[in-house]
Amino acid sequence: MKKNSFKRVASALAIAAVAASASSMAAFADEYNGFTMDQINNSETKPVVSISVDGNDKGVVYSADEAKGKTVSVSVKVDGAQLKYASTGFHIYYSDKLELTTDPDFGTINVNAGKAITKLSPGTPKEDPTAGTGFKGVFVCTAGDSNLGINGEMWNLEFKLPADAAEGDVYPIDIIYKSNENAEDLFVNTEVNQAGQLMQAYTFTKGIYNAKENNTFAAAASDVQKCAALGDIDKSYDGYIAVAGGTTSAETSASTESETSTSTTVTETETTTASSSVATSSTTKSSTTGTGSTTKGSSTASGTGTTKNPKTGVSGTGAALAVAGLAAAVATAFALRKKED
């Protein structure tokens, strides 16, 4: 029997009382929805859902002065799915240092439908309170009685960067698939036939970056040159906003080891060539230098601790999600798992 995609998404928005748990968020590849990876790789339609920031693919790097309090436009785009999809639903997670702006007239968050889904029926974006530590999230969805989704911008999000944005900061953005026993995120056609289900399977395994099947995300080389921390960005993320400057964890470690090594060499030399009183003095100097080195390293790490390896709790990374009770889950929405009417 043909599914009614409008009914499915309307119902999705009505199941806000579903409690989310750590097990309700996993990589799509944990299930494959009954398909093998060979079948998924041979899908007729292979959508790729990606991020651009202020028109720059993957992300952008601003200077520290430019970044402070800046308003930034983030696009969620799809390619490879022209007139192939209708019902969609997925989660967008972003650094909790970012704030979604609000419309001054309506007080709603600025998450707006793009041209790619104007012939579909976009659902009202819902903030997701179950995002992992260090992240906030929003759920977006569409429905349609015909496959009128096209390539291009599906959603546009407007963020405000923190007023205290500092050199080396990285604010990650992640496109997430979520499911539980009653519901799952979607990217499917109106027929919900095998071709549509394979398209969905491809979207959430190969069409977005994820920890299991597409763990290859990397910042643009030119951006890494501007913001060293981007060299350590998690390979399952989908985008970023970054601030120029800072050092990588490897550089900090190498600097610390170099200073410690130099301190030890100086101490040994002085101890060998000087009297016992000088040796005592050199030992004190070594201790002081060592402490200074450690303090310097800690200070550097503290200054860029969330940016050098900005992975901070998204499912699929091995970090646990916060378990939400019914009250917290009231704002959570999923697209219903595909069932016969």
**50 has a pLDDT exceeding 50:** yes
The DSSP string of 270-308 is HHHHS-HHHHHHHHHHHHHHHHHHHHHHHHHHHHHTTTS
H helices of 61-169, where? 64-67
- What confidence score (pLDDT) does residue 325 get? 28
Cα–Cα distance between 334 and 183 in angstroms, integer?
Answer: 6
Supply φ then ψ for residue 83, to 5 degrees: 55, 40
Range scoring the smallest mean pLDDT among 17-26, 167-176, 214-223, 246-255: 17-26
Q: What is the mean pLDDT of residues 219-226?
A: 98
Let me know if residue 192 belongs to a domain: yes
**176 has a pLDDT exceeding 60:** yes
Cα–Cα distance between 96 and 161 in angstroms, integer?
Answer: 10
- What confidence score (pLDDT) does residue 183 get? 87
Let me know if residue 239 belongs to a domain: no
- What confidence score (pLDDT) does residue 122 get? 96
**9 has a pLDDT exceeding 60:** no
Let me know if residue 46 belongs to a domain: yes
Do 324 and 289 lie in one domain? The reply is: no
- What confidence score (pLDDT) does residue 250 get? 53
Q: What is the mean pLDDT of residues 77-90?
A: 98
Range scoring the smallest mean pLDDT among 125-134, 246-255, 329-338: 329-338
Cα–Cα distance between 232 and 81 in angstroms, integer?
Answer: 32
Range scoring the smallest mean pLDDT among 156-160, 251-255, 258-262, 279-283: 279-283
Q: Which of 126, 138, 128, 142 is CA-nearest to residue 84?
A: 142
Q: How many CB atoms lie within 10 A of CB 165?
A: 22
Cα–Cα distance between 115 and 156 in angstroms, integer?
Answer: 10
Where is pLDDT greater, at 259 or 17? Answer: 259
Do 122 and 210 lie in one domain? The reply is: yes
Binning pLDDT at 50, 70 and 90, where does residue 246 land?
A: confident
**162 has a pLDDT exceeding 50:** yes
Let me know if residue 65 belongs to a domain: no
CB 94 within 8 A of CB 125: no
Do 267 and 124 lie in one domain? The reply is: no
Question: What percent of the chain is modeled with pLDDT above 90?
Answer: 60
Do 11 and 148 lie in one domain? The reply is: yes
Domain that holds residue 196: 5-50+75-157+172-214+312-331
CB 135 within 8 A of CB 174: yes
Do 269 and 324 lie in one domain? The reply is: no
Per-residue pLDDT tens over the stretch 199-215: 999 999 999 999 999 99
As beta bridge partners, residue 105 has none
Do 176 and 204 lie in one domain? The reply is: yes
Cα–Cα distance between 96 and 166 in angstroms, integer?
Answer: 15
Let me know if residue 231 belongs to a domain: no
Range scoring the smallest mean pLDDT among 51-55, 119-123, 315-319: 315-319
Let me know if residue 28 belongs to a domain: yes
Let me know if residue 234 belongs to a domain: no
Q: Looking at residue 183, what DSSP letter applies?
A: B
Do 264 and 317 lie in one domain? The reply is: no
Question: What percent of the chain is modeled with pLDDT above 70?
Answer: 63
- What confidence score (pLDDT) does residue 322 get? 27
In the chain, what are the helix, strand and coil shares in percent, each to the nearest 5? 35, 25, 40
CATH of the domain at 322: 2.60.40.680
Q: Which of 214, 207, 212, 247 is CA-nearest to residue 231?
A: 247
Binning pLDDT at 50, 70 and 90, where does residue 28 land?
A: low
Do 289 and 196 lie in one domain? The reply is: no
Q: Which of 199, 177, 231 is CA-nearest to residue 85?
A: 199
Do 181 and 254 lie in one domain? The reply is: no
Let me know if residue 59 belongs to a domain: no
Do 18 and 126 lie in one domain? The reply is: yes
CA angle 28, 197, 143 (to 5 degrees): 95
**129 has a pLDDT exceeding 80:** yes
Which residue type, as a one-letter code, is found at position 143?
A
- What confidence score (pLDDT) does residue 318 get? 28
Range scoring the smallest mean pLDDT among 16-20, 78-82, 155-159: 16-20
Q: How many domains does the chain have?
A: 2
Per-residue pLDDT tens over the stretch 98-114: 999 999 999 999 999 99
Do 283 and 321 lie in one domain? The reply is: no
Do 143 and 260 lie in one domain? The reply is: no
- What confidence score (pLDDT) does residue 95 get? 98
H helices of the chain, where? 5-14, 37-41, 64-67, 194-205, 221-226, 249-273, 276-304
**Chain center to CA of 84:** 26
